[in-house]
Amino acid sequence: MQVAISISEGRLSSATLMRRLRSNSRKNCIYKVFREVGRSVRTVALLRYLADPALRARVTAATNKVESYNGFFQWLGFGNNGVIAHNDPDEQEKLIKMNTLLANLVIFHNALDLWTWSARWWPRAGPSPLMSSGRSRRTCAHIRRFGAYATDEIAQESAAFNPELTEIDFTAVGLAA
C-alpha cells in the first residue's frame, strides 16, 4: 500500500521502482513483498481454477482454440516448413506478419463460404448442423496451400497502367491537386 500511495502522490516514480525491482536483490524489501504478493495471487487463482469446473471448462476451451489456431498457422506457413532462418528481427517480423495476414485471409474466406452456404441451406432444412455443432466440419482439406495457377494467361498482354486516374472525380471530395 505504501508503494501505491507513494507512486500516486508522486514521491516515488515508477521508473525508480522498476529499477529497484530489476536488481533481483534478495535483501530488497520491496522485491520480497512483491514476490510474496505474486505468490499469494497465483495461489488464489490456482485454488479458484481447481474449485470451479466452469472456469476449468472455459480455460480449456480457450486454450484449445488458441492451440488450434497455432496449429493452423504453422500448417499454413510454407517455405522451409515454417522455420524462420533469418537472424534479422525485421525479416522475422515480416515473415510472421505475412503468415498472419495469410491465415486471416483464409479464415475470412472460410467465413464467407460458410455464410453463403448457410444462407442457402438454412431456410429449407431447419437448424444448420454447422451452427448446432459449434464448429465447422471443413478445416483445411479444401485449401490448396501452394495454389492453382493458370499458366495459359501468362502470354496475354495486360492493360497499360494509367497513373492519371481520369475516371475518378477528385474535385467532389476536395482532393484535387
**Tens digit of pLDDT for each residue in 9-57?**
888 887 887 777 776 666 777 778 888 889 999 999 999 999 999 999 9
Are the C-beta atoms of residues 73 and 66 closer than 8 Å to each other?
no
Angle at 138 (CA atoms; ends 133, 143), nearest 5 degrees: 160
Q: Give the whole-angstrom CA distance, residue 126 versus residue 132.
A: 11
Alpha helices in 77-88 (DSSP H): none
Are the C-beta atoms of residues 72 and 103 closer than 8 Å to each other?
yes
Residues 6+ positions from 146 with CB-CB distance below 8 Å: 78
Task: Give the pLDDT of residue 126.
Answer: 54
Task: Give the pLDDT of residue 44.
Answer: 96
With the C-alpha atoms ordered 60, 64, 66, 67, is the resulting torsion angle positive or negative? positive
pLDDT tens-place string over residues 66-107: 898 888 888 887 666 667 777 888 888 888 888 889 888 888
Q: Give the whole-angstrom CA distance, residue 12 versus residue 23.
A: 17
Instruction: Return the DSSP state at 150.
Output: -
Are the C-beta atoms of residues 77 and 99 closer than 8 Å to each other?
yes
Instruction: Return the DSSP state at 149.
Output: -
Task: Give the pLDDT of residue 122.
Answer: 63
Q: Is 96 left (phi over 0), alpha (psi -120 to 50) or beta?
A: alpha
- Residue-range domain boundaries for the chain: 1-51, 54-124
Q: Which residue has the cell 476536395?
A: 174
